[in-house]
Each structure stands twice: as C-alpha cells, then as structure tokens.
Amino acid sequence: MQITVDFQDEGIAQKVLWFLSTLKDKGVKVVSNTHQNHIENDENFHNLQIDSMSKTWDNDFDKVWDEL
C-alpha cells in the first residue's frame, strides 16, 4: 500500500518520518517527494503533451486537410 501525506508543520513531518524509519525492518519504505519533484513531473508531462500533439496534428497524412 502506498500513501501520500502533505505536512504543513515541518516539525510534525520530521517526527512522523522518524517514527516510520523505525519500522524499516518491518517493510516500511519512505519515499520522499518534494515540491521540486512535482514541478519537474509537471514540466515533463507538459513536454510529452506537446510532443504527442505535434505528432497528431503536424504530419503528412492530413497535410491536405491542414491546407484547408
């Protein structure tokens, strides 16, 4: 099971992370996802959309339609 938690208080976040780290031997894995990672993912998704749309609309198959 995977969960995402957004902490407003950094102190509480550190305490929860400490607690979770004590459970590593029980199979708990903490994956940190910072705001910067979220921004990079959004940019990558945006670039993928641009590339996909370019391949969809800018191609020789519908060149005659584009000229209309």
The string of pLDDT tens digits covering residues 10-42 is 899 899 989 999 999 999 998 876 655 666 667
Is residue 30 within 8 Å of residue 17, measured between CB atoms?
Answer: yes
* In the predicted structure, residue 63 carries a pLDDT above the cut 90: no
**pLDDT (0 to 100) of residue 31:** 82
Phi, psi of 27, deg, nearest 5: 100, 10
**pLDDT (0 to 100) of residue 64:** 72
**How would residue 50 be classed by pLDDT, with cut points 50, 70 and 90?**
confident
Is residue 17 within 8 Å of residue 6, measured between CB atoms?
Answer: no
* Max Cα-Cα span within the chain: 66
**Mean pLDDT calculated for residue range 43-62:** 72
Phi, psi of 40, deg, nearest 5: -65, -40
